[in-house]
Amino acid sequence: MRAYGRRRMLALAAGLLAAATACSGSGEPSSSPVAAATTAAAPTTPSVAPGVSLSEAANAFSEYVVTDDMLRVAGSRRFARDLNRDGRTDLVTAEFASTGDRPVRYTWGTPTFLVPRLRPDEPLWFSVVVPRDNRTAVLTFAKGTDWRLSALALLLPGQRLPEVKLDTAGYAEVVGSEDKGVQISPRYIAPLHATIAERGPAGIAAGLIAAGPYTTETAAEIADNRTAAKKDGFTYDSIFSAADYPVYALRTADGGALVQYSLLRTTSMNSVISVSPFLPVPPEGRWALTREQYRDNIKIFETQQYVATVPPASAATVIAYDGAITKGSGL
């Protein structure tokens, strides 16, 4: 979406926003998880001019917050899609579709910017740590013809963001996709996460990805669902795969990495005997399948976005998540 398209969206929704109670603001930040992400500093100042300045990042985020809120008030799904890219496109589409184009509006706090020192000829992106309602959100924006939201995850209860390494000008350091100085190179974090979510601690990711609600606990849930489905006369399976979306990684103060990435999940249920009961559709997926149950088979597709900390020499830990069912099919 070019600049004139963004201005058109602002004009389209401005009248509605003026008549509504504003929910987007600059509330006070939550103290502990946000501060932890921003206090580290490296002693040297690199000579390379950044491809993205701190002020450009701040302007892009501010424009996103204002425009996104206007489009939520207007119920404009099509234009809201144009503020997003990669995994966020399907997620924001699902958010509008599942609510009858009346999505939730958010209250944003004071942002902290994690802007990598990139060359102008490199893919440009930056991250933001910001309170959103009563949670801490980690957002990453990427630039094509304009800035769009590429990834978003919410800090999990009990987790803290690590300190990110900053130079004296306030810019962060990118961790390359093949970096060998961390326990898991950024390009491998998503497939290893997918493996442990499917197979649990017995898989090849054992010792590389820490146990938790979106790793080993997910695998246990899948196993339980498979057993229960067999008793009821149908099969159940749930497969994870690394999404073909960008992976973003920043150097942390301890020499590790803060990595943001996406997974795709496909859950299938199939009747295997003629007396099988109807297959139930989970309540959160009924908007996508239109019915509460099917006779023969169901497929449910999810997009999931994560943030993980990857230390230099110990297991990676998933610390933030956001995701939803994005489509489904059934017979």
DSSP-assigned states of every residue in 56-118 = HHHHHHHHHHHHHHHHHHHT-HHHHHTTB-THHHHHHHHHHHTTTS-PPP--BB--EEE-B--
What integer pLDDT is reported at residue 217 of this predicted model? 97
What integer pLDDT is reported at residue 123 of this predicted model? 96
CA torsion sign for 99, 105, 111, 113 is positive
* pLDDT tens track, the chain, 331 positions: 444 455 555 555 544 444 443 444 444 333 345 544 555 555 555 566 799 999 999 999 999 999 999 999 999 999 999 999 999 999 999 999 999 999 999 999 999 999 999 999 999 999 999 999 999 999 999 999 999 999 999 999 999 999 999 999 999 999 999 999 999 999 999 999 999 999 998 878 889 999 999 999 999 999 999 999 998 889 999 999 999 999 999 999 999 999 999 999 999 999 987 666 688 888 999 999 988 888 899 999 999 999 999 999 999 999 999 999 999 999 8
As a whole number of angstroms, the distance between CA 159 and CA 137 comes to 12
Instruction: Give the Cα-Cα-Cα angle 87, 238, 268 (nearest 5 degrees).
Output: 100
Q: Which residues of 2-16 are buried (b: 16+ CB within 10 A; e: fewer)?
A: eeeebeebbeebeee
Residues carrying CATH 3.10.450, the chain: 3-155
Q: Which residues of 196-224 are buried (b: 16+ CB within 10 A; e: fewer)?
A: bbbbbeebebbebbbbbebbbebbeebee
As a whole number of angstroms, the distance between CA 242 and CA 86 comes to 13
The correct answer on CATH 3.10.450 for the domain covering 3-155 is: yes
Alpha carbon 189 to chain centroid, angstroms: 14
